[in-house]
Structure 1
Amino acid sequence: MARTLRSAAVATRPAATHARVRRIELVPLEDDFVLVTVLMQSGGVRQIISRADRALPREDLTRFSNELSEKLADKTAGQVRHALRAVSEGARPFASVAVRLLQQAQEQAFADVSLEGLAQLLSQPEFAQSQKLRPILEVLEQQPMLARFLAESLATPGVQVIIGAENRLEQMREASLVLTRYGSEEDAWGVLGVLGPTRLPYWRAVPMVRFMAELMDVVASRPGR
């Protein structure tokens, strides 16, 4: 894809990105600090120390833990966010913390991003000026930032075309991307696509990215992959 479209190609390995709640534990610390622990269905654990608006007794935190674990069980970050209104006012701040922890787990799933065709990108006349190219390179070099950008850009399945100023990251607004998912929505999925100038030949890029995703679907579905 990189050579054909004279652009950079990006891809991630399939990963179980739908981090889901198994249980949420709240443990009181000193003063008004609370240790928030999210145990996920995958067996993963995420923790953070959060500050409440006041010191809370252990009994209240135990009640909030049970409420959150019951109401948010098996939910993803997005589903927890939509369920915030169903949570009691006292437990709601901790549910919001759980959303952040689940999002972190999702983003980490994309931490290993492969990039090819950087030379093709550098050869484009739009990027002859370093001030336009430098912000893009900064994103490409910072794997966590790039992983988060890819995950947020593909909140829904299907080929996504992101042109210039439509990019969520300001650093990427001199470029365009054509991205899609591949793999299983229920099991694990990865990202692939191309990054180039805003005059990217979309009429070629979109079907090419879609075709490559279909090939990767076949590869990812093979036993013992």
Structure 2
Amino acid sequence: MTDMDSPTDTPDAAGPTEITVEERDAHGRIVQSGRLVDGVFDGDFIRYGETGRPAMRARMRGGAMHGETRHYDDDGNIVQVADYANGVMHGTSTFYMQARLVCRMSYRAGELEGPSVYFATNGTVAAVVQYRAGKREGESVFYSPHGAVLRRETYAADRLHGPTAGFFEGGAVSEQAFFKDGLLEGEFLRFFPSGKVMQRGVYHQGVLVEPLRTFSEGGKETGAIPPPKPQGR
């Protein structure tokens, strides 16, 4: 690669050296451009794609991204807008697909922190997932394209831990369960839209310990899956 540098000012002996650079490949196509201060990028920076259009626009400080950074596809559409601090994501990172908002995530010191919001193709919120130190923590909520809550899950250290529930579009509960360290624990229930029990089982450490029974809406048992036999028997 060849650098084509043009001085922006003439520093005194004690001041920083500043030059604006355009880096090109062997075919003369521009690869990146920006301002170098004492040999590192500082200020506005652009990286170009194979089409010659900007693939990334960033603010640099001391050679690291610091501030808003924008990424583009080959057609010039924005695919990501992210906040950086000292080279790592810190703040909001928003993703797009063909100009459609896909998700908006929150970062702290390079790790997911706080709510991440995911969007359906019609623009409504599809899910809100809580993070702490890069792992799912707390309640995650999932929505239908019409905005109805379809599922609630509780996480600790990126594993299901606590109550979970599923819902029909109209709001009635479709499923109830409890997890401990990522494994089913206690009673598991599925319901008909009327609220009648469709299925019931009991789990311990993810293993079925009482028959998983299935019922008709009238309450008649229609089937049962027995617990697995203990190993060695």
> Smaller-chain TM-score range?
under 0.3
**Computing the radius of gyration over CA atoms, which structure comes out larger, 1 or 2?**
2
Structure that is richer in helix per residue: 1
TM-score (norm 2): 0.26
Asked which structure has the greater RCO (Cα within 8 Å, sep 6+), the reply is 1
